[in-house]
């Protein structure tokens, strides 16, 4: 599948970075199939990130992702999730390659402005967490 999920996290929404981040990603050749703003409950945040349950940052992460509205996007690209991870950069902004989204805007390993599905962690599950098929469009 060449679909993947992008989340613009609460830190980036609060800092008014939605436009900058989307421009950078769309300019890299992604097509927007679906997009919405949502504010997760703590329980929903914990469910989305359940793969991290038991890790030392899990409680912090579930609080963070539910601390304000987020923008979720289903994106399509011939190289799908792998390509989005490249554009987004490494988890810790300190390690993110020059010019990547996290390099430009991330402020810490936690507050790293975006989520991008990992190719080996079921991007389709993450897309379906937020979107019904009828909320996404091929055009
Ligand atoms: N995270 C954190 N501390 C860490 C590792 C991760 O706060 O030591 C947060 C960070 O927001 C990250 C998210 O947890 O984006 C999910 O972690 P993962 O290792 O899956 O990184 P990602 O896939 O987002 O690059
Ligand atoms: Mg991950």
- The domain spanning residue 21 has which CATH number? 3.30.70.141
Rounded CA-CA distance 84/28 in Å is: 9
**Count of structural domains, the chain:** 1
What's the gap in Å between 134 CA and the centre of ligand 2? 26
Q: Please write the tens of the pLDDT for every residue from 45-65.
A: 999 999 999 999 999 999 999
pLDDT at 115: 98
Is 51 contained in some domain? yes
pLDDT at 1 over 90: no
Rounded CA-CA distance 88/6 in Å is: 9
What residues flank ion ligand 2 with Cβ within 5 A?
Answer: 118
Sign of CA dihedral 9, 110, 128, 45: negative
69 C-beta closer than 6 A to ligand 1: no
Domain that holds residue 58: 3-134
Q: Does the pTM of the predicted model rise above 0.95?
A: yes
Catalytic-role residue among 7, 62, 115, 126? 115
């Amino acid at each position: 599948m060449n679909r993947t999920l992008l989340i613009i996290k609460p830190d980036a929404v609060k800092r008014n970075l939605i436009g900058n981040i989307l421009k950078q990603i769309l300019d890299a050749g992604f097509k927007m199939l679906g997009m919405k703003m949502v504010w997760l409950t703590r329980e929903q945040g914990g469910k989305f990130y359940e793969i991290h349950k038991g890790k030392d940052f899990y409680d912090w992460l579930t609080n963070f992702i539910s601390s304000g509205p987020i923008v979720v996007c289903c994106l399509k690209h011939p190289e799908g999730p792998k390509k989005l991870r490249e554009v987004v950069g490494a988890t810790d902004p300190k390690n993110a390659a020059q010019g990547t989204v996290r390099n430009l805007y991330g402020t810490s390993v936690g507050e790293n402005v975006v989520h991008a599905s990992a190719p080996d962690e079921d991007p389709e599950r993450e897309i379906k967490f937020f979107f019904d098929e009828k909320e996404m469009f091929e055009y």
